[in-house]
Amino acid sequence: MAAGGTMTDAGDGFDIRIERLVAGGEGLGFHESRAVFVPLAAPGDLVRVRPNPGAKRGASFIKAELVELLEPGPGRTAPACPLFGTCGGCDLMHLSREAELEAKRGILAESFARIGKLAPPEVEVFYGQALGYRNRMRLRRSADGRAALTRRRGNEAVPLETCPVASPELRAWIEERARHRDMRADREFGSDESGGAPETVLVAIPGAGRGRGRAGAAASAASMGTTVFGAEGRTWVGGVDAEAEASVAGKTFRFDPAGFFQSNLELFSLLAPLATGALADAVPARGRAVELYGGVGVFGAFLADSFDSVVSVEGDPRAAPFASSKLGPRGVACRASAEDWVRGAEARESVDAILVDPPRSGLSPAVRAWLAASTARALSYVSCDPATLARDSGELSRAGWRLARLALFDFYPGTRHLESWALLVRS
């Protein structure tokens, strides 16, 4: 018996006990002292697995597929969707709510210890409903006109009759297309080029649409998909509707549905006032605040309630025009990338507080250098990747910042994705 559980060789397969989930949502076990990563596994499971094709016996770790569940772990439950395991949209729906939150909390804390080299404060956990929460999805079209997601392995469409994680508005939109299947929605699929949530996006198939006229172009567009947003009794489709509207903690925001907007309004309505309110509380003199990667100005609008002046910086041409209308007389929207802005003259002016909400890649070296040298007393960091949040927090801590608070926001129940938030203050 090697570390991590019972292991019995069975041809090219073997049995292991899953110890915990790791970043990416895979279960971690051990075989002959080598780490084994298994999707769709749960902590405590005893599973029979088979290494993925091409796995090298001498490799330091093994990627494997679950072949048989021999003994379920205490946190395993029946998935709420019959397509679980086939559809690529959800990969943690087999966990109880408690087990999922504990796994994600552990992933966030472990990222700070391993990557950031920091001992984080106790992780605060914020969560909402596990089903019917998702206001924004990137969908493709199946051959018979239904809305579809992409198979967990491969590029094949998985047609949807419904979707239990979709908001009531999105679910009704999906179900209507399942009932009719008359291809009438051709214009609604593939009509935008937005970068939807990664678990629902299919990249264009190389060569699709080339040399095959309108039919080929339509097939290529359908494979790319489109973004649909649903809230407050209606839906908006990227590339069809010019503007969508959503309410966040009592404030109404307009945005291009083909652009980015958070997918869980319930949790966003908790995060926005917390991330901005904690920043205001940490700064005695509420003078000038700067928001980088500002999007349509959601956080900036809340900052304007507390600070004398706010600069919201955003480079996306689909988002930046919407920000200025929400900042009020105290705010200024600047259309520029964060990297360009921190190199400019305005960035050299005194600033009291900073809020950042970067993409998965986290803060660029230029932005981290500016933060290290800034006069700000507090930094509110909203993140969609715990690894880059941990990396950036570790580097900033070595430049004089101190990690004061750390929170998990479970924006995407049933999936491996998590949002997190950190408050850093000057030591």
Q: Label residue 1 exposed, middle or buried (CB < 10 Å: 0-12, 13-18, 19+).
A: exposed
What's the pLDDT band for 1 if we cut at 50, 70, 90? Answer: very low
Measured distance CA(58)–CA(79) in Å, rounded: 35
> Which backbone phi and psi does 17 adopt, to 5 degrees?
-100, 130
Question: Which two structure tokens, joined as six digits, stand for 359?
Answer: 């993409």
Terminal Cα distance for the chain, rounded: 48
Q: In 3D, which of 197, 160, 200, 190 has the Cα closest to residue 176? A: 160
> Which backbone phi and psi does 418 adopt, to 5 degrees?
-145, 150
Q: In 3D, which of 381, 389, 367, 388 has the Cα closest to residue 422? A: 381
Would the pLDDT of 167 be above 70? yes
Output the pLDDT for position 3. 42
Measured distance CA(308)–CA(330) in Å, rounded: 6
The residue-averaged pLDDT of 120-141 equals 95
Catalytic residue among 81, 87, 163, 384: 384
**Does 81 participate in catalysis according to the annotation?**
no
**pTM assigned to the model:** 0.88
Q: pLDDT of 259-311, one tens digit each?
A: 889 999 999 999 999 999 999 999 988 899 999 999 999 999 999 999 999 99
Q: pLDDT of 38-84, one tens digit each?
A: 999 999 999 999 999 877 767 889 999 999 999 999 999 999 999 99
Angle, helix 97-114 to helix 386-397, in steps of 10 degrees? 40
DSSP 95: B
The 10 Å Cβ neighbour count of residue 210 is: 9
- What residue ranges define each of the domains in the chain, with the CATH number in brackets? 9-76 (2.40.50.140), 98-129+264-426 (3.40.50.150), 136-241 (no CATH)
What's the pLDDT band for 181 if we cut at 50, 70, 90? Answer: low
Percentage of residues of the chain with pLDDT beyond 90 = 75
Q: pLDDT of 71-118, one tens digit each?
A: 999 999 999 999 999 999 999 999 999 999 999 999 999 999 999 999
Contact 297, 327 (CB under 8 A): yes
Would the pLDDT of 4 be above 70? no
Would the pLDDT of 144 be above 80? yes
Output the pLDDT for position 321. 87
Contact 223, 208 (CB under 8 A): yes
What's the pLDDT band for 186 if we cut at 50, 70, 90? Answer: low
Output the pLDDT for position 326. 85
Output the pLDDT for position 173. 94
CA 339 to chain centre: 22
Which residue has tokens 């419904």? 162
Measured distance CA(195)–CA(106) in Å, rounded: 28
Q: Which of 185-189, 248-252, 346-350, 356-360 has the lowest mean pLDDT?
A: 185-189
CA 266 to each of CA 107, 142, 194, 386, 410: distance values in angstroms, whole numbers, following the listed order? 23, 30, 23, 21, 10
Alpha helices in 181-250 (DSSP H): 213-224
Percentage of residues of the chain with pLDDT beyond 70 = 86
Would the pLDDT of 157 be above 50? yes
Q: What is the mean pLDDT of the chain?
A: 87
Q: Label residue 252 exposed, middle or buried (CB < 10 Å: 0-12, 13-18, 19+).
A: exposed
Would the pLDDT of 216 be above 80? no
Output the pLDDT for position 153. 87
Output the pLDDT for position 284. 82
- The number of residues in the chain equals 427
What's the pLDDT band for 150 if we cut at 50, 70, 90? Answer: very high
Would the pLDDT of 183 be above 70? no
Measured distance CA(364)–CA(99) in Å, rounded: 34
Would the pLDDT of 312 be above 70? yes
